[in-house]
Chains A and B, each alone.
Chain A
Amino acid sequence: MIRFEAVTKAYADASPAVDDLTLEAPTGAITVLVGPSGCGKTTTLRMVNRMIEPTSGRITIDGVDTASMDPARLRRGIGYVIQHGGLFPHQTVERNIATVPLLLGWDRAKALSRARELIELVGLPAALGRRYPAALSGGQQQRVGVARALAADPPVMLMDEPFSAVDPVVRDQLQEEFLRLQSHLGKTILFVTHDIDEAIKLGDQVAVLRVGGRLAQLAPPAQLLAHPADDFVAGFVGRDRGYRALGFVAATLPVRPERTVALGSTVGAGEGWVLVVDDGRPLGWLDTARHPGPVDRSSLALGGTLASAGGSLRAALDAALSSPSGRGVVVDDEGRVVGTATPSDVIAAIEAQRAESAAGGGAP
């Protein structure tokens, strides 16, 4: 657990960058610091590994005051990932990743084999280990940055906008993999971003900071969306928050049975949209009016999203809205079709869920 106790940082001749911050980042969870540019997120993060010294207040990790530790030793025990990777251009990827283990005195062979293990863990091809950073794409460099921070298996990780320098598609992919990794590793993570969507997607809890480094709200993402503490948070959380909040509401959808057909079977022109599957898994929708006859893979309409049976109402609504047939495909854990739901089915479920929580006076 990382604890900030009344921490203030004032740079010379300026109003404080971080002002009287009290915050707890629980063990094994992702705490996201989010806020507009210049609100003191980086300063907050860097005070944990003493890259910046607080003006006043105390920061403890598992009860130990960081001010009492040697800064270099403290940092070797904390994974640190920065926006542009900060990889050493003169060293191979492997050698970059092995940095902290080597500093800790591991023998070279062990450190390098650990590096190779991590290359795989972060989803990079093993051959990249002997390349130099300049030969890597931005997304690959960020993965190496994460691998390097994980190398000595530190319990605590600090991540400063690690995914903001890559394009949106790669970012999405990195976020997914980051969550998958964290579900195995269970690190205590302090994660900085200026992107509220990223904060909501990744955070177990989200701390919203306002300019001047004051904590505006600390809450789990669902609560932040449903009950912003004030106008600043409501404004920052943004326009689509009603829709995004659905992401935290589990669906209890009345799923309609859906007729499915296999590739190669024959359909008639009057059958409307039919769902084509392979071994129960959806391949796509087919417009029988345009492609009557034997079902051919190339005539499928692709692009509809899938909702999982136990998933969120947001995913269900998105599946219903994005389906060319107007019926969203719901699948089970194995990815097999369970049935479909229309947009009005989902809206009805949302309203039912509302009525229920209003009656219970409970959670959002």
Chain B
Amino acid sequence: MIASVWSWLTDPANWRGAGGISSRLGEHLGYSAVVILIAAAIAIPLGLWSGHSGRGRWLISAANAARAVPTIGLLFATSLWLGPHVTGDLAFTVPSILVLVLLAIPPILAGAYAGVEAVDPAVRDAARGMGLTGPQVLRKVEVPLALPLLVSGLRSAVLQVVATATIAAYVGLGGLGRYLIDGLASGRYAVMAGGAVLVSGLALVADLVMAALQRLAASPGLLPPGRRKRRSDRPDAGPDPPHGTTVDVPAGQDREGSRTHRR
């Protein structure tokens, strides 16, 4: 079984051509990127605004509640609903993208909001007291301080979208989901398993990229003291804390510990 999955994955012929693995990977990544961009364009400004102004908190709760709606049901519902109104490829593309965007918004929104909301009130107050205007406080203080949590939200959205973009195949679109569906339909389990392996691999790689971004996003001042220098300078360096893929396990926990003036 494993051998047949392996041989399917490593057969160069399977990688070439219109339905080949390379082009499916490309489609999958393309959909995911578009989805994340749209979701971020909506959720980041909303989350930042809500955290900055303290208003619109219901948005975050509402977005979280919306996570309970099963994605696949939503996909069929929107397809049925939009079908008569939209023609051609769009009839399939729009519902898939829409459903995935809805999936990606809550973690990004929560991350952006939580990041700004967690800013030390004394820091915000000092910023205003020195003469920063509201938008300057947001841009120069709140956003940089919110970045670690914001990117953590983005990271969890990326992971979910890459994994869930397989459903696009249900409504006739490409992406790696095709292998799951076609494999199942034709009883070629090696193809199905191979597809699953590819999706997990892609999700893993995307998550690693996001993890790297998360490290870059944080100002050195926000890292715990040991990480600011080389690892070896710190004799008590323990293993890394487990990485949260959701914003519920924020990297910001580390930040608290380094605020010496708030004991």
Contact = CB atoms under 8 A, between A and B. Distances in A.
A136 interface: yes
Contact of A90 (B125, B144, B261, B262): B144
A165 B261 CA distance: 8
B181 interface: no
A51 B261 CA distance: 23
Q: Is the interface of A mostly helix, strand, loop or mixed?
A: loop
B259 A89 contact: yes
Q: Is the interface of B mostly helix, strand, loop or mixed?
A: helix
A99 B261 contact: no
B131 interface: yes
Contact of A75 (B128, B225, B260, B262): B128
A86 interface: yes
B221 interface: yes
Given A76-B130, A103-B132, A89 B225 contact: no
Contacts of B259: 89, 134
Interface string A64-95: 00000000111111001011111111111000
Contact of B221 (A73, A74, A133): A133
A106 to B, nearest CB: 14
Size category of the binding interface on chain A = 20 to 34
B221 A99 contact: no
B219 interface: yes
B122 interface: yes
Contacts of B219: 89-91, 132
B261 A85 contact: yes
Contact of A100 (B130, B144, B258): B130
Size category of the binding interface on chain B = 20 to 34
A82 B130 contact: no
Contacts of A141: 260-261
Contacts of A51: 125, 128-129
A264 to B, nearest CB: 46
B61 interface: no
Contacts of B260: 134, 136-138, 141
A135 interface: yes
A49 B122 contact: no
B30 interface: no
A327 interface: no
B72 interface: no
Contacts of A244: none
B222 interface: yes
A148 B130 contact: yes
A92 B123 contact: no
Interface in A126-155: 132-138, 141, 148
B144 A82 contact: no
A84 B120 CA distance: 11
Nearest to B221: A132
Contacts of B145: 89-90
A134 B221 contact: yes
Nearest to A99: B130
A75 B261 CA distance: 24
Interface string B133-146: 10010000100110
A91 B128 CA distance: 16
B261 to A, nearest CB: 5
A171 B222 CA distance: 27
A93 B123 CA distance: 14
A87 B129 contact: no
B131 A88 contact: no
B126 interface: yes
B93 to A, nearest CB: 40
A99 to B, nearest CB: 6
B259 to A, nearest CB: 6
Contacts of B255: 89
B130 A80 contact: yes
A103 B219 CA distance: 21
Interface string A229-251: 00000000000000000000000
B123 A89 contact: yes
Nearest to A49: B129
A84 B125 CA distance: 11
A132 B220 contact: yes
Contacts of B225: 134-135
Interface string B31-48: 000000000000000000
A243 B129 CA distance: 39
Contact of B130 (A103, A132, A133): A103
A72 B129 contact: no
B221 A86 contact: no
A317 to B, nearest CB: 38
A88 B258 contact: no
Contact of B126 (A82, A132, A138, A165): A82
Interface in A28-79: 49, 51, 72-77
Interface string A82-123: 111111111110000001100100000000000000000000
Given A86-B129, A89-B258, A134-B260, 15 more contacts: A49-B129, A51-B125, A51-B129, A72-B131, A75-B131, A80-B126, A86-B125, A89-B120, A90-B221, A90-B222, A132-B221, A134-B258, A134-B259, A135-B225, A138-B260
Please provide the 7 A-B residue pairs with the shortest distance between their CB atoms, ordered closest to farther: A86-B126, A132-B221, A76-B131, A90-B219, A75-B131, A134-B258, A80-B129
22 contacts: A51-B125, A51-B128, A51-B129, A74-B131, A75-B131, A76-B131, A80-B129, A80-B130, A84-B262, A86-B123, A86-B127, A86-B129, A88-B123, A89-B259, A91-B219, A103-B136, A132-B219, A133-B221, A134-B259, A135-B225, A148-B130, A165-B261
Interface of A: 49, 51, 72-77, 80, 82-92, 99-100, 103, 132-138, 141, 148, 165
